[in-house]
Chains A and B, each alone.
Chain A
Amino acid sequence: MDVVVLVKYVPDPAGTPKIGEDLLVQREGTDGTLDPGDEYAVEAGLQAVEAHGGEVTLVSMGPEIAMGAIRKGLSMGAHQGVLVTDPALRGADALATARVLAATIGRRPFDLVLTGAESTDGYTGTLPMAVAELLGVPALTFARRIHLEGDGVRIERQTDLGYDVLEGPLPALVSVTGSAAEPRYATLKGIMASKTKPVEQLALADLGLSPGDVAPTQHVRSVSPAAVKGPGEIVEGDEALARIVGFLAEAKVI
């Protein structure tokens, strides 16, 4: 089974990302990591090849520093990586990103593409579907469980009220939520091994794409602070209980 996992390098989710003078998120010179949402997809990919054989290939688009996300996935156990880096991709939007990732995946046969449900920095949450459309495969999205059976895949899709069961033939794309698989920790051995695993580096031209194919279709006009009501009252210690009761009573809910 040939499994491709899409991974993204994101600014450290625990920190506050910086916005540059060009109104784009600064990705270089800031602490970053493999998107935690993608770790679930990497884990699901590793479990798939452990059960059915084959290899996991990580695919990422981003500046040179995004190699950090690929190395992290390799240290968890993925077999190889592909990183697409090109100056023309700076500020790329969801459609451009989908075109690049689909072109990269489409170079070789694959059975299963795995992604996180959404990125932790952008939260756009539509990239998996756009990639699936460009590849011409079914997208089974928001999976909390994945079962691979023969030449098909079946998932439990999270819904507002519970879950739905979806099925489709392979090759297919599956996006996973945080409930899909608890990501394994990279072992020291895994980290050492990751340093010698192959990572292919590609530019836009290697994919047969031109800068026009990835030109941004959105521009940030302005970023301004939201109106804030300011921090309210803070209490602690012995007065807390009485103050909470007073607060709820003022709101007329008790």
Chain B
Amino acid sequence: MTTIWVYAEVGPEGPAGSALELLTRARTLADEVAAVALGPGATVAAGALGGHGAATVYASDEPVYAKVVGRAAAHALGELARRHAPEMIWFPTSHEGRDVAGRLQAITGSTLMSNASDVLSPDRAVTQIYGDTQVVEVALEGPDPKLVLVRPKSFVAEPSGGAASIVPVEVPVPEELRWPRRIERHEEAASGPKLEDARVVISGGRGLQDPSNFALLDRLADAIGGAAVGATRAVVDAGWVPYSQQVGQTGKTVKPEVYVAIGISGATQHVVGMKGSRRILAINKDPQAPIFGLADLGVVGDALALVPQLIEEIERRGGTG
């Protein structure tokens, strides 16, 4: 009998979409699927988790799990895994997923695979490397539970119609493990649609040359309507735009109808966050830029000259809104 657990990120607003995606896939592989939800919102989230394939939800609404980043959850998960011995635990490839899984690996002494694009069986998983040009199948060995961090949007969440039984998590978290503590949260005000939800994503890279030119992308997004603006890690690191706009391995994964890459060379870091887009348009001066390898339409030219003309043309036609 195969048991797979999914580590579900939860908050007052409900479970993360990643948890529902992972449960959808897990129920095709395992005889028994459970979710572990820790922190405020956990018990309420059990409804949606059960509705996507979790037969059991190990839940605790204790604030300590939200307050203490990674460490409290890893401690509790380690204790639960010791008691119930699942074959695998899946995590989303997110900051929190990495915090918990990385610590848990050192507690359980088990294998950990990051950035998986699929799991084939309790001892076999798949990832893609080098800008997703190569598919790598990996055998997972050593003691259970095998830990796998799965990339966002690797699966499409589908309801199972099931319901979960809730098992309260009662694992004391020792005082000395209650660090680091989250003492403030700051949300940077964003306008327009969310990157992950937008039908059109327009992203800029170093090729835009100057942070002030990013305003062109905002104007293009306005002209198209319903479009969000993203960026590469290089320009986020350079401080041009906030991290919340980063698309790529360490940022967001997007799969819009149309992805417009402007002044982006196509580094692996970026490509893995956008290659699942339905249609890709790339504008770059350098005809050798790797981004052209995956663009449906590649435009070799100066974006700083082309984009203003494009905005004018779209406005002249009248957007669909």
- Measured CB to CB, the residues of A under 8 A from B are 16-17, 19, 93-95, 98, 117-118, 120, 122-134, 138-142, 144, 157-169, 172, 177-179, 216-226, 228-229, 231-237, 240-241, 243-245, 247-248, 251-254
Contacts and interface: CB of A to CB of B under 8 A. Distances in A.
B106 to A, nearest CB: 4
B156 interface: no
B99 A141 contact: yes
Contacts of A226: 128, 132-135
A245 B181 contact: no
A123 B114 contact: yes
Interface in B96-132: 98-99, 101-103, 105-107, 109-115, 124, 128, 130, 132
28 contacts: A17-B130, A93-B112, A95-B109, A123-B250, A157-B95, A159-B95, A159-B244, A161-B188, A161-B190, A162-B244, A164-B184, A165-B183, A166-B182, A167-B183, A178-B237, A179-B243, A217-B110, A221-B124, A222-B136, A223-B137, A224-B134, A226-B135, A231-B293, A232-B280, A235-B297, A236-B299, A244-B310, A245-B313
Contacts of B109: 95
Given A179-B243, A244-B297, A221 B139 contact: yes
A217 B142 CA distance: 5
Given A125-B98, A128-B102, A218-B140, A139 B180 contact: yes
B180 A172 contact: yes
Contact of B138 (A127, A218, A237): A218
B85 interface: no
A95 B112 contact: yes
Q: Quick one: which of B103, B149, B188, B242 has the most chain A CB within 10 A?
A: B103
Contacts of B47: none
Nearest to B181: A167
A158 B138 CA distance: 31
B156 to A, nearest CB: 18
Contacts of B124: 221
B258 A251 contact: yes
B95 to A, nearest CB: 5
B257 interface: yes
A3 to B, nearest CB: 18
Interface residues of B, number: 89
B106 A98 contact: yes
A25 to B, nearest CB: 9
Given A164-B182, A253-B199, 13 more contacts: A122-B114, A123-B250, A126-B102, A129-B74, A139-B71, A141-B69, A157-B69, A172-B179, A172-B180, A219-B139, A221-B124, A224-B135, A247-B279
A158 B250 CA distance: 11
B204 interface: no
B185 A162 contact: yes
A157 B281 CA distance: 33
A17 B131 CA distance: 12
Nearest to A226: B135
B186 A166 contact: no
B99 A129 contact: yes
Interface in B279-321: 279-281, 283, 287, 292-301, 306, 309-310, 313-314, 317, 319-320
Given A126-B101, A236-B301, A253-B258, A223 B115 contact: no
A144 B243 contact: yes
B249 interface: yes
Contacts of B101: 126, 129
Contacts of A160: 244, 252
Contacts of B319: 254
Nearest to B110: A217
A241 B101 CA distance: 47
Interface string B192-204: 0000000110000
Contacts of B137: 220-223
B264 to A, nearest CB: 15
A166 B180 contact: yes
Contacts of A118: 250
Given A141-B95, A141-B98, A247 B281 contact: yes
B114 to A, nearest CB: 4
A157 B69 CA distance: 10
A231 B181 contact: no
A237 B112 CA distance: 49
A140 B180 contact: yes
A236 B200 CA distance: 23
Contact of B186 (A164, A217, A254): A164
B66 to A, nearest CB: 10
B170 interface: no
A-B interface, 3 closest residue pairs, ranked by CB to CB distance from nearest: A129-B102, A178-B237, A126-B102
A129 to B, nearest CB: 3
Interface in B147-162: 149
A236 to B, nearest CB: 4
A233 B279 CA distance: 12
